[in-house]
Amino acid sequence: MEALWEKLQFWNKMPKLKEGKDFEHYQIQSPEKDKEQTVFHILKGKYKSVHYTYHGARVVEDNGMGKLEFAYTIFEPGELDIDDLNNDEEFVTIMGDILTIYLEERINGQTRTDDTQELNL
């Protein structure tokens, strides 16, 4: 229980990210023909200039709570090492926050209840 409390305190101290100020996204042509991919670019802070994309994003139930799961690919690590980023819990948390913001803006209050299809990002 103490570990959960510490994680909640960590999350509450995290600055709230804003699209256009802290991160942006843009489209690139995917290796698959006629398909675009959304790339995210962190604009400031410790992870400035990191470019990455999500794939396989979904919400799963974990002890009665929703948990956001996603895979990602880093295209440009900025001044950081890709291996260090992949093992950085704070970076993964920030990516989860950015994905949540992005999805909330796209869904605009619509609720998906029975659709198990993965999101196409």
- Give the chain's mean pLDDT: 80
User: Which stretch of DSSP H or E encloses residue 76?
Assistant: strand 65-77
Identity (one letter) of the amino acid at 8?
L
The secondary structure of 11-46 as a DSSP string is: HHHSPPP-BTTTEEEEEEE-SSTT-EEEEEEE-SST
Contact 19, 40 (CB under 8 A): no
Q: With b meaning 16 or more CB within 10 Å and e meaning fewer, what string describes 11-37?
A: eeeeeebeeeebbeeeeeeeeeeeeeb
Residue extents of the structural domains in the chain: 2-107
Would you say the pTM of this structure is higher than 0.85? no
pLDDT digits (tens, 9 = 90+) for 64-116: 787 889 999 999 999 999 999 999 999 999 999 999 888 888 776 555 555 55
**Residue 10, pLDDT above cutoff 50:** no
115's tokens: 């659709």
